[in-house]
Amino acid sequence: MAGIHITDIEAAINWWRERSPSPDGLGACAEVRALAEVYGLLVYYRESECAEDGMPAAAKAAWMSWYESTPDAPCIAICSTSQGDALCKGCGRTFDEVQHWPAMTPTEKRVTWRRISLEATAWRFNRYAERARETQEVKS
């Protein structure tokens, strides 16, 4: 089973740090401390993922709060899997990932997000994103 990647733990820590900044610059909120413990253990053991089931409850709750703030699906409404492609040109997900997305766990979804972000071959990451930026520049 896929695990929660260390980069997601780090993103959640930074999200919580922004959301609940330290009043004195020294302490951290409970959510950051819970996630930092997991992060520290991953670094210490040179691991890149932690098992979702083995995560302490406080860290899992903090991670889930961050997760709920992220976009759910990478879909950009240009689905080529409906045209028979095994890999969607719009978002980069496989046919099975598109079909089973609603039933996937948060960790499984983040594994998919990580893969398509690293590959960066889908229109979401190139042509479509460039056109969206150009449209914003014209409006400015």
Instruction: Write down the pLDDT at residue 131.
Output: 62
Model confidence at 20: pLDDT above 80: yes
| Distance from chain centroid for Cα 26 | 28
- Gap between the Cα atoms of 17 and 14, Å rounded: 5
Question: Torsion over CA of 53, 113, 73 and 108, rounded to 10 degrees?
Answer: -20
Residue 60: what pLDDT? 97
* H runs (alpha helix) in the chain: 6-19, 30-44, 57-68, 95-100, 106-119, 127-139
Average pLDDT of the residues of the chain: 91
Task: For residue range 24-73, list pLDDT tens digits in order.
Answer: 988 999 999 999 999 999 999 999 999 988 899 999 999 999 999 999 99
- Please tell me the predicted confidence (pLDDT) of residue 14: 97
What's the token pair of residue 131?
A: 């056109």
Question: What average pLDDT does range 12-20 have in this prediction?
Answer: 97
Element (H, E) at 4: strand 4-5
Answer whether 0.75 is exceeded by the pTM: yes
pLDDT given at position 129:
58
Strand partners, 50: 4
The pLDDT value recorded for residue 57 is: 97
What per-residue string of b and e applies to 105-127 under the rule 16 or more CB within 10 Å gives b? ebbbbbbbbeebeeeeebbbbee
| Res 127: pLDDT | 63
- pLDDT tens-digit profile of 63-83? 999 999 999 999 998 889 888
Burial class (CB in 10 A: 0-12, 13-18, 19+), 63: buried
Say whether 49 sits in a helix, a strand or coil.
Answer: strand
For the chain, domain boundaries: 1-70, 71-140
- Predicted pLDDT at 5: 97
Q: pLDDT tens digits, residue range 101-138?
A: 999 999 999 999 999 999 998 988 886 656 666 666 76
Q: What's the rounded Cα separation, in Å, for the pair 91 and 128?
A: 10
Q: Which two tokens stand for residue 43?
A: 């670094």
